[in-house]
Structures are given as structure tokens and as C-alpha cells.
Structure 1
Amino acid sequence: MAWSTLPLTAWLFNFAFFYPIVMACVWMTGGVYYYLRRERKGPLPDAPPPMATMPFVSILVPCFDEEEHIGATIAALSAQAYDDFEIVAVDDGSSDRTGEVLDALVADHPRLRVVHLAQNQGKANALRIATLAAKSEYLVCIDADAIVEPHALRWMVGHLIDGPRVGAVTGNPRVRNRTTLMGRMQIGEFSAIIGLIKRAQRTYGRLFTVSGVICAFRRTALHDVGYWSDTMVTEDIDISWRLQMAHWDIRYEPNALCWILMPETVRGLWSQRLRWASGGVEVLLRHGRGVLAWRKRRMWGVLLEYLLSLGWAYVMLAIMLLWLVGLFVAMPASLHVETLLPRWHGMVLAVVCLLQFATSLVIERRYEPNLARHFYWVIWYPIAFWMLGMLAAVIALPRTVLRRRQRALWTSPDRGARA
């Protein structure tokens, strides 16, 4: 049958089938290339290369209702294998004892300075206040529930020193709560999906976003683009696009390890993924047209990748709706969906998915030698997280278009159970 005569459902199924396969191949190819060129023979995370200079660095820690975790975070930051740095923690109007805990920590951590805000004004505003209080040109931003490895600071600041046009460096978050199926699946997500994507995007020039939980910035670059926006749901995606559109480079440093807590309830995970999806749509609406300019052509790959992912979500929704309507109404042949159950297509997708996970295991084993024991749990990822991501993207588009622009305040997320 000629392509021009295929029914609509065939077009939908072909796109739904080939999109994840093609993107998996792109991510694997880019990830392997990045690994062979930059990681395979490079130093290990606990043995960073020597630095010609070790400039003063400011570590910024925005906090909101973090009394349970902030002590461990500050302790890990104070133990950084770096000579000269300060820690600026901003208590953004917390409703718990975060402010009191921070004040008590000053006695044990002389590098720590604390700024108290009377009201919750959002993470972007807290980061701006911390930047005003900071003394350095080099700013490392860490979430208040993250545990940073001792050499992470050196790995990230090294890029800022070596490249005058490097505006930001994003680190390598790793999931540390691994007691539930949902937590174990996210281990695979961060290595097999997010890690490969960042490597591939870095290979063809631009990143969709830094990881807000661990990233370093050049103050000059932030000043050039106007710092973080307090009206964006995800300030990390927005600042990434604005920096790159202004021709600042963003690098990925997989050796800058950071251990994070992720949601382990359906409600918490849904809230997080809807926020991520809404942030992507916001950036598309605000910056999508500007990216089309020829001078910003290096962003075209990131834009196309995001548009295809959004299109895939709506194609999946259309297939499901056609199948559901067909249960009750006789549909014309061009719109008839016989079943949603995977046949040979599902087998091919499963093989490609497992190949992607295996590729990531080869790359990521230098950071987590025992990562392979979590491989079994990752096989459930496509069923659970693809559907969750699809629904989040479908809802995020109209939700964001209709949302009245206002300051984005934060609330304490579900962080699961710590192992």
C-alpha cells in the first residue's frame, strides 16, 4: 500500500511506533560518542584533574521547609575538596524550623551564611537574593535536600575557568531512595534516559535544561540574561534556554555527582512530572519563536526534539480515544483502532528499550558499579512512566496556555523514603 493511501490510524500508529525507536537510536549514538570521546579514558569522579587556579566560589542553597534534610546537605557541602568557598543559604519564608536549623548550623560550619526571607517568594527569587549576597563570580546552586559528592565543586568550576563562554555547567543527579519499585525505576530513568539525553544533546550542541538540583553558573552570564525568572514554573529550563539563546555555552559534567530524593508515591510523582511538563510548554511558548532565528540555529535540534515529544503525547492520546470511542460506536475503517495491546510492535519497542538500558549500564558503571542489580526493575519503566509522561504533556499544554502569569511559589515535594 502506498504511503499516500494509508488510513489515518496507520499514520498515527507509525509515528507512535517509530518516534521512540528513532529517538532511542539518536540518544544511544550521541551518548556512546560522548562517552568514547570524553569519559572512557578520563579520570574517575574521585580523582579530578588538577586545576591551574582555584578561585573563590559561592555555593547557593535556596531552602523552603527543609528542616529534615538541610543539615546533611550543608555538611556535605562543607566537606567539599576545594580550598576557598562560601555557602549562602536562603530560607525562603519556611513554615517549619528550617531557619532555626540553619542558624544553629552556622556554629559548626564557619563557611555558612544565612539569609532569611519573611515570605515564600519562590525558588527563582531565593536564587536571586542568594546571588546578591554571594561574593564570587562563580555560583554553584544546590537544592536543599541534595547530598553532593566531595569533588563535585572542582569538576564543575573547572569548566567555568577553562571556557570563557561557558555560562553554566550541569551535574549528574543520582537517585538515593531505592526502597520501592517506583524509586528503583527512577534509578534507570536518570541513567538510561536523562543521562543519555544530556550526553547526546551535548554532542549536537545544546541542552534542553540544566539539572536544577546541581548546576554552576557564571555570574556574568546570568547578568547578561537577567537572572532567573520568578514567573516560570521551572526556572532551570527557562534559564537554560535564555543562556543558550544569548550564545552562552552549557556543559554537562557527569563526574559531578549529587544524590537526590525522588517521589515514591503516584501523587507526588504526578505533581513533579506535571510541573516538568508545564515548564517545557512555558519555555516553548515564551522562547519558541525566538529560537527560529538563524543566529540561534544551534537550538533547533532541542526545539525539534521537544516538539516531536509533545506531538507523540497527543498522537498517543488520539489513538486511545479512537479505540475507546470504537468500543461504543461503529467507526469508519480509516479511524478504526482494533486494540491497544502490543503485538510485534511492542516486542520491537521492548528490545530497543532494553538495548538503551544496556547501553547506559556500560556508560554509567564507572559512577555506580552496582547499577546492574537495578536493571530488572527498569523493564517496567516504559509502561508506567511513558504513560505518565504522556498524560502530563497532554494536560500541561492547555493548562499552561490558560494559566495567568504569576509568581511561581514552591511547595515541599514528595521525596519518598530514604534508603
Structure 2
Amino acid sequence: MRRHPHRPSGLSPPEPPGRSPEAPGPRRGRPPLSPRHRFRIVVPLVLLAFLASVLLVEGYTTRGFTGDQEGRGGRGTTGVPRSVTDGGPVLDTTGDHLRSYRTPDRTVALTFDDGPDPTWTPRIRAVLDHYGTPGTFFVTGQQTTRHPGVLRGLVRSGHEIGVHTFSHPDLTTQSASAVDRELALTQLALAGAAGINTSLMRMPYSSTPSALDAPAWSVARRLGEKGYVLAFIDQDTNDWRRPGARAIADAATPSPPGRGAVVLLHDAGGDRSQTVEALRVLIPRLKAQGYRFTTLSDLVGTQRLSSPVDTVDLWSGRVFVTAVTVSGAVVSAVTVLLLAVGSLVLARCAVLLVLARHHARRPRTGAPRPVTRPVSVVVPAYNEEVCVPNTLRSLAASDHPVEIILVDDGSRDGTADIADSLALENLTVIRRPNGGKPSALNTGVLRASHDIVVMLDADTVFAPSTVGRLVQPFADPRVGAVAGNAKVGNRRRLLGRWQHIEYVMGFNLDRRMYDLLHCLPTIPGAVGAFRAEALRDAGMMSADTLAEDTDITMALHRAGWEIRYAPDALAWTEAPTTLRQLWRQRYRWSYGTMQAAWKHRHALLERGPAGRFGRLGLPLLAVFQILTPLLAPLIDILALYGLVFGSPLTTVLAWGAVLAVQAVCAAYAFHLDGESLRPLWALPLQQIVYRQVMYLVLVQACLTAINGYRLPWQRLKRSGDVVLPPQPSPRRP
């Protein structure tokens, strides 16, 4: 039996205990999924689909809006009827007729583009209502869905509403289907926000009829065929330039005096305070000169160009507006969480680097009397015939006196026989029925002849110096256990390199931090040493969780023992070689970590060393091994969102900055561990592919915990290709 040795504390939780032998007999087909299995599969898919939908809705309804700003100027080109270019600012091409409407003398229609805006539209409406002046507001669907209450206020005040498309594109550059989609979404937004539709429209970036060119006229004809009356302008105030309130009012005053005009202003797209002040000047001025104010409907000779929608359209629109509102709220919450996660990740990286450097540079006082007495080494094994020879030979080559105890936990292959055939000195092989890893370890501890017990898994290889370095901290009688430095021994393939990077970063940096803070959460199953007395105080190895290594470590803290980390006690272990095996392994680790943390939650309220671990170690574990990894996918999800709907360059630079921080941490961890930096070329791919797998594993583990499902043991297939590499000792600055 064997499970992955070490859980690097940064990204992946611990390793589980007991297993059951596989049922003999012919292999059967895959059974149907139980409700609990379906729960763990369906819920992540539903959550992912919901988040994707939210981001798509929010991205499309808020992307890239810019106001009208500069409209088309100059003269129209050939292909536009003279009656249009020389006609009035309101054009009706519906049906088979073509007619334009001029503004009567001493008549002004105030029109506002790009709204509704939650700040400026209500202020403009208040000025118009104060003077009893009607206005015509050409609204975009984006702004309407984001601020439906503002539009309802305009309708209640009796102002006229027109369409200004959904996302404010230049319609001459859009396909026919894109134009239809812009119109349909805008009408849907109007229906949901105010229960109306309108046949009045102003094309974005349009100006006077005389500026129409052939492409714009083609779009205008098509819009007429769809039933829209088009509005152009007589006078452009250029208020978006913010030239001053009086300059805006002067530009809106018809010239020569007495002439009528359709005036263009803006109620959104920027600071419109000058527009508000200009209206306070303009309206009294024109009224004093005998002008009247009207709407574009009045120019056409109809009472209103908008109408109430039927029940189906009303509820369709409400659903649409609600979806946009929910999407905006969710994206805002996700953005806040992203900032929190990003801050935590950056702060954690900075703290890890500082503490790791301090840990590496701190003087090692050492014991006046090094630990030289023999120790017992316990190796639990279940169907490990491929791996066990290398493991046992590496232990026999130890330069520290050892007693080797192999506990064959009901293997159905030749594990025990192969161990016996090696004829190694000081090797004892214990055969017992299958009972799980914790039970096998306890059996080995009870048979141990010495007071210090080293534990490792049957696919792990020790260097000759590993045992001696691992037991030196036991010179301090307060030390109950010591964690060694586990490394990936099969790193020739890409998946192995990814795990190698994870091990060095997670194990080396995190363990150094936890060691300084005296709250190390896990003694890895691949390389750990225990004082037998401490094990008895902590209740021995337990099968209560799927992470017996984390469970016993937390129990030792609560029993008052010190836990140390020996970075120079090196061990090489076999990592999963396929994504399927990796998933199964990390799934157990993640779930086991949650079980262990929940089991020892009462340490939060305890005193002494137990309370110190409970109030420091458990929160760190919860934040950086469960909460932060659960939220970390937001970085990648919003990166995709930024590439599609935001600024690709800014998004790439931001993601590159995150990767650079990870690379700095990885390079320093490799330096401290004496490792070559060459494997770090795989770091970008690890962030893109491998990390996503770890996210999904953690999500599934959380759902398993919520669902109350007891995860069974699943043994990994071994290749036995871990051998002792020529590795230098970790460097000390």
C-alpha cells in the first residue's frame, strides 16, 4: 500500500490512511453514479455554467462604451437623395415613402444622447422639469439595463425616449445581423426597464442629414424598413468637450435668431456638470425670446413614437434586465474577492520569501551531543513489489544505525517475499492481514526496539545521510517529531516536472515558514521521524481521517510537543504519472486535510502549545490551503474575461506580473534546496494547466465534505522508477 508521500503545504492537502484490498473476480462494468457522486459532478458544472453566463452577460452589456463625441461632418456623397441631404433633421423612411421633417421657427427640441446615467440624467431631468420643458433622450441598451430606475424616472416625467443602439457601435461597420441584434437587445432593455418600445432612433456618430454618406444612407434605409423614424440634428453643442456652460448655451441657441433647431446634448459619457448649468442658462434665455420647446414626436405630427409592450415582452425584458443586474452584482463581488485573493497571495509570497531567508540564515546552535543512537525505521507496504527493493536497499545503506521494520499489510503480490529475499541485515518483515496504513504503522511502532521511529512509504528512497540528519533535532527533549524534505523522484516527464516545482515551492518555503512559527501542520508520510513517547501521548496513528500524517501532527501539537523541519533530510518519492492518478491522490489529500482540521478544531479554544497551533496553524491552513486555492481560479477566469471584453494588453501584463511573482518564489525555493533552475521552464504551463486541475480537485473535495460522503481508499499504480539521484545538500546563504 502506498499513497503519495508528502503533501506540499502550499497547494495540496495531505495523504490518506487505510485502504481495502481490491475485490477478486472478474472486472465488472462501471456502476451507475449514485446521487452523491452526481452531486459532486453536477454542482461544479452548474457553478461553472452560471459564472460563465454571468461574465458573458456582464461583458457584453458593459464592454467598450464610448460616447458620441465627434460625429460625421462634411457633405454627403453620391447615392443619397437630395431631398434627404437638404431636408430636415427627422427622417421617415418607413413603408414606401420618404419624408423629412424640419423644425418650425422659434421651436427647439432638446435631445440628449448616451444615457441614462445615474448621476447626470436625474440632474438634467430636474432642470427640465423645473422649467416645464420636454426632452428627448436617446438611450443605449447597456446603460438602460444597468440603470433601469433612471429610465423609469424619465418616462414618469413625460420625456420622450429614443433608441441609440445597445452598445453604441458605428452601424456602418456592422453586419445586418449585428444591427438587428443591437436593436432587439435595446428594445428588450426598454421593455424590462420601463415597459415600453419606441420607433424613434438616432444612429451613433450621426450628425446633420447633409453629412449622410452612402454607407450611412444604406443603414438608414434598412432601419426605416424595420419601422424606425430617424433623428438627426440641426446644431451640435459639442458639450462633450466641456467648453464651459455659457459656450454650450451659446452653441445651442439657434442662429439666425428665430430659426428652429434640434439641439444635440449629452447626459452620459463623462462629466456633464457644464451641460446641466448650460440648460439653466439656455431655457430661460430662449423662452424670453419667444421659443417653445417640443419633442421629435411633435415634429413628426404624432402624439408619441413609443408604446407600451405586451405581457410577454414585458416579462422577457424584466428577465433580461434582472440577468444583467445580477451579473453586475456578481462580477462586482468577484472583483472584490479577486482583490482580496490577490492581496493575500502577494502578501503570502512576500512573507514566505522573508521568513524562508531568515530560516535559512539563522544560526544552527546544534546539540552538544549529536544523536547517534540507533533508530527504528517503519515501512508500511501494500502490493509494493515493484518499489520495495529500492526502498529497503537505500535504508540499508544509511550511515546512521537503523533497525528496518517492513509491515506487509495484507499484500496480494510478492512484496513480503521479495523483502525477505534481499537478506538485508537488521530487516524484520511483519506479515499481517490488511488493516489500513495507520494500523500498519502502529504495528511497526509497537515492534520497534528504539525510542525514535522513522516512517517512510514503500516507494520512497532515502539518501545515506537522510536518517542521521532527520533525527538530530531529537537532541532537544521537547521535540516530538521532525519533518524531512520530500522530493519527486520521477520528474523526467512534464507531469513529474510540474509536481517537482510544486514540491520544492510548497514544501521548502511553506515548511520553513511553519517551522519558524512553530505550527507545522504535517509530517509527510514520505519522510518523518517521531519520538515513540510522543506518539503514545498523541494517541498513535489514527484512521479517523484520510490524512493520518496531518492528523498525528496536529495531535502532537495539542499534546504539547515541538515539531521541527529538517530541510537537509532528503527523500525521493514516486509521484503520479497520469492526470487520473494525480486527481485521485490529491482528491484524498484535500479531503483528508479538511477532515483533520475539523477533527482538531477545538485547538482554537485551548491554551498553551495547543492553543498557539489552533489560533495560528489552523487559520493559516484554512486560508492558504483551502480558502485561497478555492478563490484563486478567479485570477484565471477574470484574465479570460479581460482578454475577451477588456484590454488584452493590460490583462496579459497583469497575468504576467502574477507569473513573475510565482517565478521569483520558485527560483528562490530551488536555490535554497540546491536544485537546478532548469525545470522552471515548465512553470508557465504549470500555471495554465496543472493549477486548474488542482482547483477542480479542491472544489470536488469541498463538495464531498459538504455532502458528507466518506471517500474510500484508492491505490495508485506504481512504476518503481525512483532511484537515488546525485543531489547536493540544500544551500545555506
Give yes or no for TM over 0.5: yes
8 Å Cα contact 1:175-1:260 kept in structure 2? yes
1:28 partner amino acid:
L
Give the whole-Å Cα distance in 2 for the aligned partners of 1:130 and 1:86. 11
Q: Which residue type is aligned with residue 211 of structure 1?
A: P
SS of residue in 2 equivalent to 1:139? strand
* C-alpha distance in 1 between matches for 2:508 and 2:525: 14
Give the structure 2 partner of residue 159 of structure 1.
473
Mapped contact 1:123–1:410 kept (Cα < 8 A):
no
Matches within 5 A, 1:244-255: 244-255=557-568
In structure 2, relative to structure 1, the CA distance for the partners of 1:338 and 1:23 (3 Å cut) is farther
Q: Which residue, 193, 204, 214 being the options, matches 2:527? A: 214
Deviation at 1:148, TM superposition (A): 0.3
User: Could you tell me how far apart the structure 2 residues matched to 1:220 and 1:149 are?
Assistant: 26
Report the CA distance shift for 1:222/1:212 in structure 2 as closer, same or farther (over 3 A). Answer: same
Question: 1:121, 1:409 within 8 Å by CA — same for their partners in 2?
Answer: no
**Corresponding residue of 1:184:** 497
Q: Report the residue type matching 1:235 in the other structure.
A: E
Question: How far off its partner does 1:37 sit?
Answer: 1.1
Counting only pairs closer than 5 Å after superposition, residues 130-145 of structure 1 correspond to structure 2 as 130-145=444-459
Write out per-residue CA displacement over residues 181-203 of structure 1, whole angstroms, 9 at most, x where no aligned residue: 11112222121222110011111
Partner of 1:399: 704
State the AA in 2 paired with 1:315. L
Instruction: Tell me if the contact between 2:386 and 2:718 (Cα under 8 Å) persists in the aligned partners.
Output: no
The residue number in structure 1 matching 2:684 is 379
- Structure 2 counterpart of 1:281, from 590, 594, 597: 594
Distance 1:340 1:135, change over 3 A: farther
Q: Is the 8 A contact 1:207 1:250 kept in 2?
A: yes
Aligned partner (choices 90, 97, 107) of residue 407 of structure 2: 90
Q: CA RMSD in A?
A: 2.8
| Structure 2 residue matching 1:379: 3-state secondary structure | helix
Alignment partner, residue 11 of structure 1: 336
Shift in CA distance, 211/32, structure 1 to aligned 2, threshold 3 Å: same
Instruction: Note if 1:114 corresponds to 2:439.
Output: no
SS of 2:599's equivalent? helix
Aligned counterpart for 1:24 among listed residues 335, 349, 356: 349
What secondary structure, in the 3-state scheme, does the structure 1 residue paired with 2:416 have?
helix
Go from structure 1 to structure 2 and tell me whether the alpha carbon gap of 1:264 and 1:17 turns closer, same or farther (over 3 Å shift): same
The counterpart of 1:235, out of the listed 528, 548, 551, is: 548
Q: Mark the CA change 1:237 to 1:338 in structure 2 (over 3 Å): closer, same or farther.
A: farther
Give the Cα–Cα distance (whole angstroms) in 1 for the partners of residues 373 and 531 of structure 2. 12
Q: Is 2:174 the counterpart of 1:174?
A: no
- Code of the residue aligned with 1:411 in structure 2: it is R
Matches of 1:415 and 1:173, distance apart in 2: 18
User: 1:59–1:87: 8 Å Cα contact kept in structure 2?
Assistant: yes
Please tell me the residue identity of whatever aligns with 2:628. W
Shift of residue 405 of structure 1? 5.8
Listed as ranges, the matches of 1:305-384 within 5 Å are: 305-309=620-624, 310-316=626-632, 342-365=651-674, 368=675, 371-384=676-689
More displaced stretch, 301-310 vs 253-262: 301-310
Is contact 1:264–1:417 with CA below 8 Å preserved after alignment?
Answer: no
Q: Does the 8 Å CA contact 2:581/2:716 hold for their aligned counterparts? A: no
Q: TM-score, normalised by structure 1?
A: 0.84
Change (3 A) 1:306 1:388: farther
Match of 1:330 in 2: none
TM-superposed CA distance for 1:400, in Å, is 2.8
SS, match of residue 91 in structure 1: strand
Pairs within 5 Å for 1:20-99: 20-38=345-363, 52=370, 54-83=372-401, 85-99=402-416
Deviation at residue 49 of structure 1 after TM alignment: 9.1
Q: Secondary structure at the match of 2:677?
A: helix
* Cα distance in 2 for residues equivalent to 1:416 and 1:186: 17
In 1, distance between residues paired with 2:406 and 2:619? 37
C-alpha separation between the residues in 2 aligned to 1:79 and 1:96?
25
Aligned residue for 1:60, secondary structure, equals: strand
Shift of the 216–143 alpha-carbon distance from structure 1 to 2, 3 Å rule, reads: same
Report 1 or 2 for greater relative contact order, CA contacts < 8 Å, sequence distance ≥ 6.
Answer: 1
Equivalent in the alignment of 1:332: none
Post-superposition offset of 1:133? 1.2
- Separation in structure 2 between the aligned mates of residue 288 and residue 415 of structure 1, nearest angstrom: 38
Q: Which amino acid aligns with 2:688?
A: I
* Alpha-carbon shift at residue 294 of structure 1 (Å): 4.1
Task: Classify the secondary structure of the residue corresponding to 1:230.
Answer: coil
Deviation at 1:304, TM superposition (A): 1.8
Alpha-carbon shift at residue 339 of structure 1 (Å):
7.2
The percentage of counterpart residues that share the same residue type is 28
The Cα offsets for residues 3-31 of structure 1, whole Å up to 9 and x where unpaired, read as: xxx93232122123222222211211111
Distance in 2, matches of 1:182 and 1:364, equals 20
How far apart, CA to CA, are the structure 2 residues paired with 1:321 and 1:176? 33
Moved more, 216-225 or 276-285: 276-285
Structure 1: which amino acid aligns with 2:335?
Answer: A
Contact 2:481–2:564 (CA<8 Å) still a contact in 1?
A: yes
Deviations 1:144-197 (A, max 9, x none): 11110101111122111x111111111111212122111112222121222110
Deviation of 1:323 after TM superposition, in Å, equals 11
Cα distance in 2, alignment partners of residues 8 and 26 from structure 1: 27
Instruction: Name the structure 1 match of 2:299.
Output: none
Alpha carbons of structure 1 residues 88 and 359: separation in structure 2 relative to 1, 3 Å: same
Q: String of CA shifts for 1:59-96, please: whole Å, max 9, x gaps.
A: 1000011101111111110111023x211100001121
Runs of 5+ unmatched residues, structure 2: 1-330, 724-733
Q: 1:415 to 1:338 in 2, by over 3 A?
A: farther
Partner of residue 198, structure 1: 511
Q: Is 1:61–1:144's contact at 8 Å kept on the other side of the alignment?
A: yes
Corresponding residue for 1:412?
716
C-alpha displacement of 1:131: 1.0
- Residue range with higher mean Cα deviation, 95-104 or 308-317: 308-317
| CA shift for structure 1 position 383 | 2.3
Q: Is the 8 A contact 1:172 1:255 kept in 2?
A: yes
Question: In structure 1, how many angstroms separate the alpha carbons of the residues matched to 2:555 and 2:382?
Answer: 26
Superposition deviation, residue 54 in structure 1: 2.0
Match status 1:258 vs 2:563? no
* CA distance in structure 2 between the aligned counterparts of 1:218 and 1:228, rounded to whole angstroms: 13
1:16–1:194 CA distance, 2 compared to 1 (3 A) = same
Give the count of matched residue pairs: 386
